[in-house]
Chains A and B, each alone.
Chain A
Amino acid sequence: MTHVILEARDIRYRYPHGMEAIRGISFHVRRGEKVALVGPNGAGKSTLLLMFNGMLRPDSGVLLFDNRPIRYDGGSLRELRRRVGFVFQNPDRQIIAPTVYQDVAFGPTNLGLPEEQVRVAVEAALRNVGLTGFERRPPHQLSSGEKKRVAIAGVLAMDPDLLVLDEPTSNLDPAGSEDIMELLEELKGNGKTILISTHDVELAYPWADRVILLRGGEILQEDSPDVAFSDTDLVRKARLSVPVLLDLYRELERRGLSLPGKRPKTVLDMINTIEQVTRKGASSPLYGTIHVCNVDETTREALSRWLSDHGGISLGAMGTRAKQRASEEELPLDFSYGVIDKCILKALNGRSSLILTVGGMVQQVERRVSDFKVESGAEIPVRKVERT
């Protein structure tokens, strides 16, 4: 049973001496969901987010966390803030301490954990975001993407249930944004619920389970991303744009191409849809193989031997730890985000690839490929690189 972790019932908020920023908003977030609050600048996204960990208190209406109304006394707020990790838009404003270690340790130390447990929590958090080895670095020497990771690690160290991120990809380069979105995907895999605000529709569209369109302090629409972004009128009202893939799909439909299946979220979905239309009846082509390697279980030598046996294979890394390993061993990555989809695309084209990843994500590859088989009928072989 999926139960509701956060619920808002008709909340309103007016800034002192200002306009009403939130005008009666009701919605809920289920445990394990990825929700994107999407809206233009000034829609009230940040204001709304700040209410979820009790930084702002609504003037009227009720906010429930874990089915209990949020209370605003010191003790309850501390517990709430431990369970709702808040990542600010500007990491410089969130990072407090002079070294990465001290900053990530800030939360757990203030929760009163003994030093040994603090150390364990910090190490785990830094490993999670792929910043192992950065402990003694001062934050001002890090890149924007690294600072963002430190900020996320600082929140993860308190082991929250719900992660709230305000514009997680602002100020990051495209690769940095993809890295962060993939990190959020990994965190979801670890059982966290994730709520982000953004105005980047291209990022929110494939990522979110559910999208809440916000404008002028009110909810315009709340639905799965393909439905929410399909309503051109609403999207225009919210000063956003229709995601390119969705736009393309609808334009094809309008030209009388009857496309089977659901609306495409990724390039792979789109290719699959098109191939189903064009390849009707043709014999099934020869697919490439997707090899999966768990880097935690494979030595450096075994990996380089395998790679030299399979020259010219495309290489992708999934997950922060696998990417860190790849950069340590100076392996040239062909893909660093959306890896499974890109490897399936390669395989459809008859080319093989290797995915470097860790632990549970090996199953994720297998699951995605078998899901794809159900969708498209294409049976792509997945092989694990054997331990040697």
Chain B
Amino acid sequence: MYEELLEDIAQKNGLREVSPYLKLAGALGAILLCLSSTSFIAPLAIALLLSLGILFLARVDLRTYGELLVAPFSFALMGAFVIILLSGGGEPLWSWSPLPWLSFSITRGSINEGILVLSRVAGGMSALIFIALTTPMTDLFLVMRRCRVPEPVLDLAMMIYRTIFMIMDQLVQTYQAQRMRLGYTSFRESVRSFSMLCGSVFIGSWDAGEDLIRAMDARCYSGRFAMAGEIRPVEVKSFLAVAFFLVVSSAIVLSTGNIAII
């Protein structure tokens, strides 16, 4: 139910009526700033600002947002840990050679690099989650259309979007039906049930595809897909807010360029 959850939040978030261009500009700008920053402070500041935006402007509840952050952060932590152990540079603070050809060391440079990567992940992730939680796919389709994404690609994307929810429904129902009849009690049983689940969903989506063609034919399909009305206009207030955010973030990037953690 994960995707459904995200999309549903996006459909009724507090920033729904803000122009998607502005939201995208803000988030993409934030990602670029995170990547160009040489200090760990700027990405963290950006992450903080965007998180405040998600929590207070878009009014997403803290728990949901926290759950979304757990997965990427556990990966980022592992990644940063490996970087700290393996990369070098600067004076070593700690080292260990369990085997003649294998050695680990922690150096000043490796700590700085690991922390920088971790903070960039924080900034980037919060920007991506910001888009996911404030801009529903239906608005993104409009933006893609304006950005001249080829129509066949876009039409396919829209049908896939619609189909995902249908297949999801079927998946959940079949899965529940299997669990009710104790389909996942042992490992062997789980493997068997899972393969049956995949099979039935495949056949189901095949059927759905045929029905889709019929439904389109029944309504005179001739290769055209309608677009949903107009994009929300860019409002002065939100434009200024995004501009302010980007200016402040850039200022932080420039002024903190030389600060390292140790």
Contacts and interface: CB of A to CB of B under 8 A. Distances in A.
Contact of B228 (A95, A110, A135, A155): A135
Given A92-B166, A96-B162, A105 B216 contact: no
A96 B7 contact: no
B211 interface: yes
Contacts of A90: 211
A189 interface: no
B217 A96 contact: no
B215 A139 contact: no
A176 B218 CA distance: 25
Given A95-B162, A96-B212, A101-B229, A55 B222 contact: no
Contacts of A94: 215, 218
A88 to B, nearest CB: 7
B70 interface: no
Given A98-B141, A138-B7, A110 B221 contact: yes
B215 A81 contact: no
B153 interface: no
B4 A140 contact: yes
B204 to A, nearest CB: 11
Contacts, number: 99
B2 to A, nearest CB: 14
Contact of B220 (A92, A93, A102, A110): A110
Interface in A68-106: 78, 81-82, 86, 88, 90, 92-99, 101-102, 105-106
B208 interface: yes
B63 interface: no
Contacts of A105: 226, 228
Contacts of A110: 219-224
Given A53-B218, A96-B159, A110-B219, A138 B136 contact: yes
A109 B11 contact: no
A154 B234 CA distance: 31
Given A93-B212, A109-B225, A140-B165, A98 B217 contact: no
Contacts of A136: 138, 228-229
Contacts of B4: 140
Interface string B47-59: 0000000000000
A81 B227 contact: no
B137 interface: yes
Interface string A116-143: 0011000000000000000111111100
A109 B162 contact: no
Given A138-B7, A140-B4, A55 B218 contact: yes
Contacts of A82: 220
Contacts of B208: 93
A111 interface: yes
A55 B228 contact: no
B214 interface: yes
Interface in B176-208: 208
A255 B222 CA distance: 62
Contacts of A108: 226
Contacts of B8: 141
A93 B228 contact: no
Residue in B136, B165, B215, B223 with the greatest tally of chain A CB atoms within 10 Å: B215
A122 to B, nearest CB: 8
Contacts of A139: 162
A256 interface: no
Interface string B131-158: 0000011100100000000000000001
Contacts of A92: 166, 169
Nearest to A93: B211
Given A93-B208, A98-B138, A140-B4, A106 B214 contact: no
B244 interface: no
Nearest to B12: A141
A55 B220 CA distance: 11
A59 to B, nearest CB: 19
Residue in A90, A97, A154, A155 with the greatest tally of chain B CB atoms within 10 Å: A97
Contacts of A53: 218
B158 A98 contact: yes
Nearest to B218: A86
Contacts of A43: none
Nearest to A151: B215
A112 interface: yes
A138 B3 CA distance: 14
A107 interface: yes
A78 B166 CA distance: 28
A90 B215 CA distance: 11
A106 B138 contact: no
A317 interface: no
B208 to A, nearest CB: 7
A138 B138 contact: yes
A98 B158 CA distance: 6
B161 interface: yes
Contact of A55 (B162, B212, B217): B217
Contacts of A112: 222, 224
A110 to B, nearest CB: 5
Which 6 A/B pairs are nearest by Cβ-Cβ distance? A105-B226, A140-B165, A109-B226, A93-B211, A107-B219, A99-B228
Given A97-B158, A98-B137, 15 more contacts: A55-B214, A81-B217, A93-B211, A96-B212, A97-B225, A101-B229, A107-B219, A109-B225, A110-B221, A110-B223, A112-B222, A138-B11, A139-B162, A140-B165, A155-B219
23 contacts: A55-B217, A55-B218, A81-B220, A88-B211, A88-B218, A90-B211, A93-B211, A95-B215, A96-B212, A96-B215, A98-B228, A101-B228, A106-B225, A107-B219, A110-B219, A112-B222, A135-B228, A136-B228, A138-B11, A138-B138, A139-B162, A140-B166, A158-B220
